[in-house]
Amino acid sequence: MLKILLSGACGRMGRQVANLAEDEQAKIVCGVDVHVEKWSDFPVYPSFSLVEEDADVIVDFSRPEILPTLLEYAKARHLPVVLASTGYNEEDLAAIAEAAKEIPVFRSANMSLGVYVLKTLAHQAAQLLPGFDIEIIEKHHNQKIDAPSGTALMLYDAVSQPDTIPVFGRNGRTQKREKREIGVHAIRGGTVPGEHEVGFYGPSEVVTLSHSAQDRSIFARGALKAARFIARQKPGEYSMDDLAKDLVK
Ligand SMILES: NC(=O)c1ccc[n+]([C@@H]2O[C@H](COP(=O)([O-])OP(=O)(O)OC[C@H]3O[C@@H](n4cnc5c(N)ncnc54)[C@H](O)[C@@H]3O)[C@@H](O)[C@H]2O)c1
């Protein structure tokens, strides 16, 4: 059994991970969450400094604010980490790269293998359809804090060129679309777990690639697979590319 320390244990994703852990031959030994709620059969602490249990890996679905403490804790114990939170800034990404010199770090803004396939196909389509206008649309539930979603930004990276400029919504613009723009649009409402669409708009034809998450379990299952994978890696930064290659071996 893989022993997991679950950061963000009382949140929506934390609960999904805990509920599905056994299916993936893993066990949550304890959790960390700023807002401790008693709901699980494992202890949850308000801070990493209070953790007493030994774990093989940390899985984090919380907020970027916890990153410095989490990385310090992981480095001190040589613990591999799965970072599934979204909304990291440049400083956070630099801290992750620095930590990865000492510990294995897996990071993906979307842990779904289906979204990984969407990203791979979107990248190929962008190369095969030069000159097509590209627009990305994402939809999420009304509780999501960051916009656009980390996945939309990941898709943007997959289809953009060095001279591309992102345009986040077009409200108030009074000029025509530039060729090198990629529009990124966010919709928030209801309980949508996550929908992403990459549209390629050419002369007289449109190609649309899309992924629809039917519930959040896909992210939890992906994170548990990533935890098993990262637990046997050397220090470094790892992504869904590495996990996908490992799964098809
Ligand atoms: N990578 C993916 O596939 C994927 C999928 C879904 C959600 N997410 C991301 O995971 C994160 C959590 O999503 P969620 O829907 O579970 O949110 P949530 O708000 O339901 O849960 C977040 C939990 O983290 C806790 N938390 C907040 N700040 C904290 C801190 N500083 N220290 C410790 N705990 C803290 C909160 O108390 C809460 O229990 C978000 O960043 C979300 O965008 C990623």
**Is the Cβ atom of 141 under 6 angstroms away from ligand 1?**
no
**Do residues 8 and 96 both lie within one domain?**
yes
Residue ranges of the chain with pLDDT lower than 70?
A: none
Q: Which of 27, 123, 144, 185 is catalytic?
A: 144
**Do residues 70 and 135 both lie within one domain?**
no
**Do residues 13 and 46 both lie within one domain?**
yes
Rounded to whole angstroms, the Cα distance separating 114 from 151 reads 12
DSSP string, 66-96: GHHHHHHHHHHHT--EEE------HHHHHHH
Number of folded domains that form the chain: 2
**Is the Cβ atom of 199 under 6 angstroms away from ligand 1?**
no
* Residue of 32, 49, 51, 62 with the most ligand 1 atoms within 8 Å of its CB, for mutation: 62
**Do residues 103 and 224 both lie within one domain?**
yes
Give the range of the structural domain holding residue 119, as residue numbers without chain letter: 113-212
Identify whether 140 is a catalytic site residue.
Answer: yes
CA nearest ligand 1 atom 38, residue: 11
Report pLDDT for 17: 98
Residue 71 CA: distances (Å) to CA of 42, 79, 92, 94, 148: 22, 9, 10, 12, 25
**Do residues 123 and 158 both lie within one domain?**
yes
CATH of the domain at 208: 3.30.360.10
Report pLDDT for 167: 97
**Is the Cβ atom of 8 under 6 angstroms away from ligand 1?**
yes
- Region class of 170: left (phi > 0), else alpha (psi between -120 and 50), else beta: alpha
**Is the Cβ atom of 219 under 6 angstroms away from ligand 1?**
yes
Report pLDDT for 249: 80
* Position in ligand 1 atom list of the atom nearest CA 193: 6
Report pLDDT for 200: 98
**Do residues 160 and 242 both lie within one domain?**
no
> Ligand 1 mean position to 172 CA, how many Å?
32
Kindly report the pTM of this predicted structure. 0.88
Q: Which of 140, 196, 211, 225 is catalytic?
A: 140
CA nearest ligand 1 atom 40, residue: 85
Residue 72 CA: distances (Å) to CA of 23, 34, 78, 80, 98: 30, 17, 10, 12, 11
* Position in ligand 1 atom list of the atom nearest CA 222: 3
* Residue of 7, 10, 13 with the most ligand 1 atoms within 8 Å of its CB, for mutation: 13
Report pLDDT for 38: 87
CATH of the domain at 39: 3.40.50.720
Distance from first CA to last CA of the chain, Å, rounded? 22
Residue 190 CA: distances (Å) to CA of 64, 139, 140, 143, 187: 24, 10, 8, 8, 10
**Do residues 98 and 168 both lie within one domain?**
no
Q: What is the pLDDT of residues 129-161, one digit of tens each?
A: 999 999 999 999 999 988 999 999 999 999 999
**Do residues 134 and 178 both lie within one domain?**
yes
**Do residues 137 and 172 both lie within one domain?**
yes
**Do residues 6 and 103 both lie within one domain?**
yes
Per the CB < 8 A criterion, the answer to whether 208 and 199 are in contact is yes
**Do residues 208 and 233 both lie within one domain?**
no
**Do residues 124 and 171 both lie within one domain?**
yes
